[in-house]
Amino acid sequence: MPNRFLAQVGQTALVLFFVSVASFVFLKLAPGDPVSLMLGSDYNKDSYDRLFTELGLDRPWMVQYTTWLGNFVTGDWGRSFVSNEDIFRLAVMQALPVTLCLAAYAMVLALLVGIPAGVLSALKRDTWMDLCATGVAVFGNAFPSFYLGIVLIWVFGVGLGWFPTLGFVAPWEDPLEGLWYLTLPAITLAAWYIGLIARVTRASLLDVLGHSYILAARARGEGATRVVWVHAMRNVLMPLTTTLGLQLGGMLRGAVMTEVVFALPGLGMMITAATLNREYTVVQAGVMLSGLLFVLVNLMVDQLYTWLDPRLRRLA
Amino acid sequence: MTKIDHRSLLAARMAKDFSQGRRSLLGAGAAAGALGLAGIGVGSAALVSDAHAQGQPVKRGGTIRLGWIDALDTLDPHYTSSLGSIKVINNVFNGLLKVTWDGKKVGFEPDLAEKWDAISDRVHVFRLRKGVKFHNGDPLNAEAVKWSVERVRDPANKSQHGYHYEDLSSVDVVDELTVRFTFSKPYAFLPVALTGSTGRAGTIVCRSAIEKLGRDYGRSPVGTGPFKFVSWRENDSIVLERNPDYFEKDLPYLDRVEIRLIREPSSGVAALLGGQVDGLSLVPFQFVPELRKSPNIALYGQVEGNYSYVGMNNRKGPFMDANLRRAVAFAIDRDVIVKQGYFGEAIPAFTPISPPMAPFYDPNIAKTTRGHRLDLKKAMEFRKKAADQGEVAPVYIVAEGFTGSGGSGTRISQLLAPMLAKIGVKPKVELSDRAAWLKRRNTGDFDMFDEAWIADLDPHETITPEWSTGRQWNFVGYSNPEFDKLVGEASDTLDTKRRVVLYNRAVDVLLDDAPLAMLAHMKVFKAFTKRVRGFQYVPVDLLNLHTVSLG
């Protein structure tokens, strides 16, 4: 067990290393030059050279990279060009909690709606209920989150006035208010996952229900509810976890759009603003943080497998 | 002097280039001439707003929540180029003068200055208000004004607004509350340059705060204005609170101002209609019809001091040929641009001089033969004179997205394409994000682009830095010594009638050379819920809150 854990930590470190190299190299290869962009219309040779040196861009790439990596690892992420704010503080203390709250809320919503919808449409296969559930799934899957967010704002925020449409209230300060503010964004972000979860649940459940052990359970006279939710669902959880594990990284991508529409000061908003301002150091911090999250989620999914499937435990 | 380092200045200017616009200085218009040589006395009496004037009792206190759609760069008035920032800055700072609007024309009234005496056409003496304090308790005195003006003016500080004081020889402290400006030649633009409003060069900043905070001053400004700065959370909000020691008696009414920074305009409009914010700093044209219909919303918006145009590269490519540029200028149907490009919330532009520039603007321009207008016959004549008689395919750079009152995304280019096709010009539209677009525009990597110069009130700022030889906003590389001479002379002339003649001639030269093709003068909108009372609209994209109260 400790060996397996160490191996995973090692893998994580390796993945993060490659992410950091990639994000650094992409920045270097990206068209446009941060210095001339920073100087804009007030460009002249003197100020260009001076800023170029000041930012340390005249040093070899390797030196730049190792310096940056060293600083990054020790928590010195630098300061934003525009706001002069400490990037670690901005990204980790300010933006990250917002995005995590949003993503967690959205995931809970997606599971709470997606799994029952999938089960329902598998059990009532080819009935109008299946059609409805599948319809909702396809709809959620196909609707771009940007547009869905705006539609939700107009219907539930402006039209009905049920939910606030912008801003963030920290749930750890005021749980009810916080959830209330996050509801529309969470639905927006969850829609795609609801579709995904419902589809995977339906397909896997249909497959599992054909297995002989289900027939055996039925033959033993077990109740329909127990057969589905205890026996069958256990085997549905595996493909579901795999699919979700693969797609969870996409949450961050969805969060970018959602946060912009609902004016939430999260990671997505930070990266968007920094990209538009060409704040390269901030973008890099955001990318690294996303990379870290992605890897951590996958680690958790791996752990989840061992928990879900006793056979993997035995192998270990 | 200041502890602001070189890099921070660059950063501040960098920010400017990625916000929607650049400067938004305010022109002197009528007042330039009128005030030029007269002493202006203590004024600001008749500044009561509509709702307040109707005898409704003014309710004090409360928090106003505003949605800010436009981008901000810095809250340091001497380094900002963003109208989004200036709207905030104007509530925290003052200039020696301020801009006012009586519904017909723009005026200039004393703000920190109590009295202005023109000793000669080059020497101006200002008497300051007594007892004004910065938010940190520092006194506002002649020394503070001198330091502030010298900060903008010193080329070492690289303020992009320093050019307003190019001809300033010295600023001297006469006594505690008297300061003297000496210019090397008459300076018609002075009233505008001295406003804290959109002039920025005239905004008085706090020396001790700048020396203490360095570049962080732009993130936690200290001024003399009606509201004190409280906080700025990145990508989230800015908070201001009432300055209890504000020098205008009993003002401001509000206790607190919460500014929500919103990137997506439609979210802002929804928040306004849903009652989550009490007002919007800006309303994109496409939402105006919707908001007009809403009984709970008051819209403020008029044709402001601006013009949109198509810029054509004079240095390279097909538009080096003046006849081709002229053909473009006369092939554009501005009524279509107004209707479809600006949803009817604009008027056709014949010249760069817009209605708020009162004495310079000719209200009957449509009936004259001056300026650019749709005239296909003329366009074809010029086209026939062009060197290249084949089909021309200029590179038209377009920036994605809404960028404040100036930018309109891809809309204009789409409308122009069929118009230009009639004269055998088929633009190749190249779409990119704003930052990349700015770089191409600034480095002359284009054949054509469309943009707008906004929030100007005097020809001195609306055509001079844009089209004079070698100036930094002259992106198309236009150069005509006759134009340079005319606008130079107009700047040194105090007599308004003479300035009108000079600027008219300069505009005629410019439009005949056609480095630009005129498009429209646009309205710029603010919106409030009916709960908001006492807003004083000034047509230079300002959102001053000192007279505002909540019903």
Tens-digit pLDDT profile for residues B254-293: 999 999 998 888 888 988 988 889 999 988 888 888 899 8
Mean pLDDT of the region B189-199: 74
Pull the structure tokens for residue B402.
Answer: 């809404």
Pull the structure tokens for residue B333.
Answer: 């149907």
Judge whether B473 is closer than 8 Å to chain A, CB to CB. yes
Residue A68's alpha-carbon distances to A53, A80, B11, in angstroms, are 15, 14, 20
Mean pLDDT of the region B143-159: 88
Which of A31, A154, A276 has the CB atom closest to B18's CB atom?
A276
What is the rounded CA–CA span in Å between residue A207 and residue B304? Answer: 67
pLDDT at B21: 29
Find the closest chain A residue to B15 by CA distance. A82
CA atoms within 13 A on the CB side of B66: 29
Q: Is 90 exceeded by the pLDDT of residue B136? A: yes
Confidence category of residue B5, pLDDT binned at 50, 70, 90: very low
Q: Which residue has the tokens 């439609």?
A: B266
Q: How many residues belong to chain B?
A: 551
Contacts of A22 (CB under 8 A, 6+ apart): none
Count helices and strands (H / E) in chain A: 16, 0
Q: Are B296 and B530 in contact (CB under 8 A)?
A: yes
Q: What percentage of chain B has pLDDT greater than the value 90?
A: 47
Confidence category of residue B47, pLDDT binned at 50, 70, 90: very low
Find the closest chain B residue to A166 by CA distance. B271
User: What are the chain B neighbours of A165 within 8 Å (beta carbons)?
Assistant: 267, 270-271, 274, 276
Q: Which of residues 443-472 of B touch A (CB under 8 A)?
A: 443, 472
Confidence category of residue B199, pLDDT binned at 50, 70, 90: low
| Mean pLDDT over each residue of chain B, to the nearest integer | 83
Judge whether B200 is closer than 8 Å to chain A, CB to CB. no
Q: Is 90 exceeded by the pLDDT of residue B243? A: yes
Asked if A263's CB is within 8 angstroms of B264's CB, the reply is: yes
Q: What angle do CA B300, B222, B14 make, to 5 degrees?
A: 75
Which of B8, B14, B473 is best to mutate for the A interface (most A CBs within 10 A)? B14
Confidence category of residue B28, pLDDT binned at 50, 70, 90: very low
Those residues of chain A that have pLDDT short of 50 are 40-41, 43
pLDDT at B509: 96
User: What are the chain B neighbours of A270 within 8 Å (beta carbons)?
Assistant: 234-235
User: What are the chain B neighbours of A260 within 8 Å (beta carbons)?
Assistant: 263-264
What is the rounded CA–CA span in Å between residue B288 and residue B408? Answer: 14
pLDDT at B30: 32
Pull the structure tokens for residue A52.
Answer: 């170029």
What is the rounded CA–CA span in Å between residue B34 and residue A110? Answer: 67
Which of A80, A165, A277 has the CB atom closest to B267's CB atom?
A165
Pull the structure tokens for residue B1.
Answer: 């002097």
Which of B11, B260, B262 has the CB atom closest to A81's CB atom?
B11
Mean pLDDT of the region B74-85: 84
What pLDDT digit, counting tens, does each position of B206-230 carry? 999 999 988 788 889 999 999 999 9
Nearest CA-CA distance, residue B265 and chain A, Å? 9
Which of A42, A153, A272 has the CB atom closest to B267's CB atom?
A153
What is the rounded CA–CA span in Å between residue B138 and residue B145? Answer: 12
Judge whether B349 is closer than 8 Å to chain A, CB to CB. no
Asked if A154's CB is within 8 angstroms of B267's CB, the reply is: no
Find the closest chain B residue to A270 by CA distance. B235
Judge whether A177 is closer than 8 Å to chain B, CB to CB. no
Phi, psi of A230 (to 5 degrees): -100, -55
Residue A293's alpha-carbon distances to A18, A72, A191, in angstroms, are 15, 16, 21
Mean pLDDT of the region B371-375: 94
pLDDT at A1: 54
Judge whether B266 is closer than 8 Å to chain A, CB to CB. yes
Which amino acid, one-letter code, is at B345?
A: E
CA atoms within 13 A on the CB side of A267: 26
Mean pLDDT of the region B127-135: 92
In this prediction, the answer to ipTM > 0.90 reads no
| Pairing of β B395-399 and β B448-453 | parallel
Give the number of beta-carbon pairs within 8 Å between A and B. 141
End-to-end CA distance of chain B: 46
Comparing A72 with B11, the larger pLDDT belongs to A72
Specify the DSSP class assigned to residue B102: -
Residue B181's H or E segment, with its range, is strand B178-183
| Pairing of β B113-118 and β B123-128 | antiparallel
Q: Are B461 and B164 in contact (CB under 8 A)?
A: no
What is the rounded CA–CA span in Å between residue A266 and residue A104? Answer: 13
pTM here is 0.79
The three-class DSSP label of residue B450 is strand
The 10 Å CB-count burial string (b at 16+, else e) for B239-273 is bbbbbeebbeeebbbbbebbbbbbbbbbbbbbbbb
